[in-house]
Every structure is written in C-alpha cells, then in structure tokens.
Amino acid sequence: MKRSVFFISDGTGITAETLGHSLLTQFDKVQFEAITIPYIDTLEKAKSTVAKINSCAKKEGQRPIIFSTLVNPKIRSLVEKSHGLFLDFFKTFLVSLEKELNIAPTPHVGRMHGLVDYKSYMMRIEAVNYALSHDDGLRPQNYDQSDLILVGVSRCGKTPTCLYLALQFGLFAANYPFTEDDINNANLPTGLLPYKSKLFGLSIDPKRLHLIRQERRPNSRYSSLEQCQLEVRKAEDFFKANKIPFLSTTTRSIEEIATSLIATLGIKRQLGDMEHH
C-alpha cells in the first residue's frame, strides 16, 4: 500500500512535517511518499501547488494526503480545493482559540519562524558558540556560565546533545568526557565539584559504543568490546556513587535525551525560537 503525502506551509514546513510524521507512523502498513512544499506565500505559488497535487491524484488514481499549516485564509482556501485529503493543522484550532479567548486573531505569516527578535537569535547563536567552545572538556573555568554539563565516556552522545540543546532551547551546555583516571577515582574531579547540581550523565549500551568506536578507530583497544564494557560499567558506578542523574542514550533519540535531562535537572524549558511554523 502506497500513498503520496504533501506537507504544505507558508513558512518553513517543519511543523507540518513533524506533526504529520507522528500521525503517519501510526499506519505502519502504508508506505508514504512525502513531499514538502514550503514558503507558499502567494496565490501563484498556491496555484502551482494545487496543480502538483491534482496531477499526483490523477496519476495515482487516489487522493494524496495534505498536511497544511497555511495561515493565510485566501491561500489556504485555494489549496483546500485541490483533489487531496486536506488536513488543516491551523484553522481547526484557531477557531477554537478565537472563541475561548474572545478576540480575533491577527494573522502573522511573516512572523512564523521569522527572526523578529535580535536578542532571541543571539541567544541561540551564543548557545551554539558556548557548546562548541566547551565541548570535550574545554575551558572548565567557564562552567559557572553553563546551564548544564554533560558527563560520560567518549562517544556516548554528549556533543550532539549539547548542540541540540543550544539550537532548540538556547541552553548553555558544556560537556566533559571521563578519562580512565576520572572513573577509576571514586570522587568527582575537583574541577567539577562546584557544579555538581548541573551535572547529568550519559551512558550507553557497551555493544553500541563498541560499534560507534569501531567506525572511528577500528580494532584498537579504545574500540574493543572489553574496553567499552569496562568504561561503561565504571562510569555508571561513578554516577551512582556520586548521585549524578543519568540515562542511557542507546534507545533514545537526541530529542528524548535533551527533553528528559531538562525535566530531570528542573531547567525551565523555553524554545530557542518561539515562533516556529
């Protein structure tokens, strides 16, 4: 079973894709062929989109599924009339919100994912710069500026998580890789002591770690399964002994790791860019 899917937006299309994918994964017997058409912000572009949808419908002899976050009512009503199943992520809820709040919405297409606020843009950029310049144990003297510090063995997923935290939430995330000396010593390295409440541990299945390290340094002691098992066991013992909260990255996406540790550390969650679309 196959079905074509269109994600249509007057902005980036990221929201339509994200929510659409969550819904489509509920139908795992169907093979979906997805096309994202972003920045449909004129009637001309809307007409050409309708032509694409209709030609697809004709060719395949069935209705494509359309996930839309179109804000502009004129553009939306054009695309709504195409020969697809039009699922509208916007209007449905806007009507309910309007009733509840008892005020009319003021359409802001341009503001969606738009860079309105220099301060919020700079916050993300500065957070990315912080993650890069405090990666892999660099500059521990600046840990007082951090929102959190990830600790764990080499290649357990610290760097991508820090970068995600910076881009998605504007958080200042440093990371500190455990050396063998660190985990053989039962106590927290003295440099980390003042920041104990900011520490979060990442662990990983030793077999997965072995696979990942093999790709970097094949057949080394560093990548051997024995070494990975030893390091992971000692790191987890260390987390427990020092009461550092931790989770395993093995079965979690970067999004899950990031949101879980924010919740555990009790960090106030904010979007780096408040106006996604």
Which parts of 230-249 interact with a copy of itself (CB under 8 A)? 249
Q: What order do you get walking across the sheet with 246-248 strand by strand?
A: 173-177, 148-152, 199-203, 246-248
Among 185, 187, 197, 253, binds a copy of itself (CB under 8 A): 253
155-184 binders of a copy of itself (CB under 8 A): 157, 159-160, 163-164, 167-168
Of the listed pieces 12-20, 48-56, 75-83, 236-244, which binds a copy of itself according to CB under 8 A?
12-20
CA dist., res. 132 & res. 230, Å (int)? 28
253 vs 7, 167, 244, 256, 257, CA distance in Å? 23, 16, 21, 5, 6
Among 6, 90, 172, 238, binds a copy of itself (CB under 8 A): 90
What minimum distance in Å lies between the beta carbon of 185 and a copy of itself? 29
148 vs 152, 256, 270, CA distance in Å? 13, 16, 15
138 binds a copy of itself (CB under 8 A): no
108 binds a copy of itself (CB under 8 A): yes
Count of residues that bind a copy of itself according to CB under 8 A = 84
72 binds a copy of itself (CB under 8 A): no
What minimum distance in Å lies between the beta carbon of 243 and a copy of itself? 22
Count of other CB atoms within 10 angstroms of residue 160: 13
Of the listed pieces 119-127, 180-188, 217-225, 237-245, which binds a copy of itself according to CB under 8 A?
119-127
Count of other CB atoms within 10 angstroms of residue 200: 25
What is the gyration radius of the CA atoms in the chain, in angstroms?
A: 24
Residues of 95-111 as b/e, b for ≥16 C-beta within 10 angstroms? eeeeeeeeeeeeeeeee
Quote the distance between the C-alpha of residue 186 and its chain's center: 34
42 binds a copy of itself (CB under 8 A): no
CA dist., res. 216 & res. 237, Å (int)? 26
3 binds a copy of itself (CB under 8 A): yes
CA dist., res. 276 & res. 249, Å (int)? 27
200 binds a copy of itself (CB under 8 A): no
Among 57, 225, 230, 254, binds a copy of itself (CB under 8 A): 254
What minimum distance in Å lies between the beta carbon of 190 and a copy of itself? 29
What minimum distance in Å lies between the beta carbon of 178 and a copy of itself? 19
CA dist., res. 153 & res. 155, Å (int)? 6
CA dist., res. 70 & res. 40, Å (int)? 8
Of the listed pieces 75-83, 173-181, 236-244, 269-277, which binds a copy of itself according to CB under 8 A?
269-277
Q: Which is nearer to a copy of itself, 59 or 108 (CB)?
A: 108
Q: Which is nearer to a copy of itself, 82 or 168 (CB)?
A: 168
15 binds a copy of itself (CB under 8 A): yes
